[in-house]
């Protein structure tokens, strides 16, 4: 086999693999009907800690932050909500749809400790959840 034939064969295999990856990516993010109100996607999140608080940043572009909830359950932060296609886009012809729609839920184990409350705010299309650490007495860890 000549080197030109070898390169052509490898290029053909590479294109086939790229097509398979694109098809799998499209299938994994295809909109689905949630069953029985269950979440059908999880947003990415970052968890950071300072001396006085735990900060959780959850990427939720296009989500109305008032339609989200965040609470602690068994040392796990639970964040839930929905991304709903805006009304002006509901009749549009879809050429590409990568942002998942519908119900989401993210469960994030928290660092050991006690927290005084769950505070939410909107930061550049992300939900910022701030958990104040509860300190016993006036001593800080």
The answer to whether residue 111 sits within a structural domain is yes
Q: Residues 26, 65: one domain?
A: no
Number of domains in the chain: 2
pLDDT at 64 over 70: yes
Q: Are 80 and 105 within 8 A, CB to CB?
A: yes
> Are residue 18 and residue 44 in the same domain, yes or no?
no
Q: What is the CATH number of the domain that holds 86?
A: 2.60.40.790
Task: Determine what percent of the chain is predicted with pLDDT higher than 70.
Answer: 79
Which structural domain range is residue 14 located in?
Answer: 1-30
How far are the Cα atoms of 25, 105, 117 from residue 42, in angstroms, in the given order? 15, 6, 23
Whether 5 and 48 map to the same domain: the answer is no
- What is the pTM (predicted TM-score) of this model? 0.69
Residue 59, in any domain of the structure = yes
Q: What is the pLDDT of residues 65-101, one digit of tens each?
A: 988 999 999 999 999 999 988 888 888 888 888 889 8
Under 8 Å CB-to-CB from 63, ≥6 apart: which residues? 81, 82, 83, 104, 127
pLDDT of residue 141: 47
Based on the fold, state whether residues 5 and 45 are members of the same structural domain: no
Do 19 and 57 belong together in one domain? no
């Amino acid at each position: 086999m000549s080197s030109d034939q070898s390169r052509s064969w490898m290029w053909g295999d590479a294109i086939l693999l790229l097509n398979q990856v694109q098809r799998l990516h499209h299938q994994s993010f295809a909109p689905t009907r949630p069953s029985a109100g269950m979440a059908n996607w999880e947003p990415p999140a970052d968890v950071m800690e300072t001396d006085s608080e735990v900060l959780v940043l959850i990427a939720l572009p296009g989500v109305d932050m008032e339609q989200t909830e965040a609470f602690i359950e068994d040392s796990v932060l639970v964040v839930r909500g929905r991304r709903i296609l805006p009304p002006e886009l509901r009749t549009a012809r879809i050429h590409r749809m990568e942002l998942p729609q519908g119900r989401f839920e993210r469960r994030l184990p928290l660092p050991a400790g006690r927290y005084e409350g769950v505070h939410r705010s909107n930061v550049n299309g992300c939900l910022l959840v701030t958990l104040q650490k509860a300190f016993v007495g006036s001593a800080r860890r």
